[in-house]
Amino acid sequence: MTRTGATGNEPPERLACGADPDALLEQIAEGRGAERDDHQRQCPHCQATLAEYSRLWAPFDELAATEVHAPPGLFDRALATIREQAGPAGYGRVADETDSFLVAARAVVAVAGRAARTSAGVRMALGALGRVIDPTPSTVAAGISGQSVALELTVAAEYGHDMQRLAEHLRARVAAEVAAQTGLEVVTVDVAITDVFPTPTDHDGQDHRPM
């Protein structure tokens, strides 16, 4: 068996057969341990070293394969600061005969954006407040006023979808989700399809559509 320098900086001695242990370690680390060449198929030194390296390296393959998820809420503090700078301001008020509560505009656009992103035919989408037109004084107000909200969507669609039908579907779905989750009345949903992407596929040919 080869010896490895204590610091890792010293190249290990060659095997008795002349093979370079670093090359064998690379073979294992790259997942090519089973791909033996003619020499390795005959050589007991190489076979023993590959087996030993495979055993010792296995925990690192396992480490690489272990799924790691960010803890819930990890970015909440950073995002709260950013939302204050770049998020929509204002509140909607949902009222019935006895009670009322406020809904932040940023919550409304978050619901709208997510509803759009999870719709079929959509690769990516974002929501924002639109503009509410008040016909009485003929003014244009911010996108959230009282119990009414106007929304805008910007969308990157999947290639191959009927864009008119996609826009209609998005209007209906986003309005329904926002109404159901916030209680606000959605007066308009303006949809802008700004790009079209082919469905992403990996080398395995599978659909890897992001959520």
- Binding region for another protein (CB under 8 A): 4-9, 12, 22, 25-26, 29-31, 53, 56-57, 59-60, 62-71, 74-75, 77-79, 81-83, 85-88, 109-110, 113, 117, 123-124, 126-129, 152, 154, 156, 194-195, 197, 200, 202, 208, 210
Distance CA 152, CA 199 (A): 24
Task: Choose between 67 and 96: whose C-beta lies nearer to another protein.
Answer: 67
Torsion of CA 193, 198, 200, 206, to 10 degrees: 130
5: its two tokens: 């320098």
Task: Choose between 60 and 101: whose C-beta lies nearer to another protein.
Answer: 60
Closest Cα to residue 89, out of 143, 19, 23, 37? 143
In the complex, minimum distance from the CB of residue 130 to another protein, in angstroms, rounded to a whole number? 9
Task: Choose between 25 and 43: whose C-beta lies nearer to another protein.
Answer: 25
CA angle 144, 146, 152 (to 5 degrees): 20
In the complex, minimum distance from the CB of residue 97 to another protein, in angstroms, rounded to a whole number? 34
Task: Choose between 158 and 185: whose C-beta lies nearer to another protein.
Answer: 158
Task: Choose between 82 and 140: whose C-beta lies nearer to another protein.
Answer: 82
**DSSP per-residue letters across 117-132:** HTSTTEEEEEEEE--E
136: its two tokens: 């009485």
In the complex, minimum distance from the CB of residue 54 to another protein, in angstroms, rounded to a whole number? 11
28: its two tokens: 């294992």
203-to-70, 76, 122, 200, 207 alpha-carbon distances in Å? 27, 35, 22, 10, 10
In the complex, minimum distance from the CB of residue 195 to another protein, in angstroms, rounded to a whole number? 6
In the complex, minimum distance from the CB of residue 137 to another protein, in angstroms, rounded to a whole number? 24
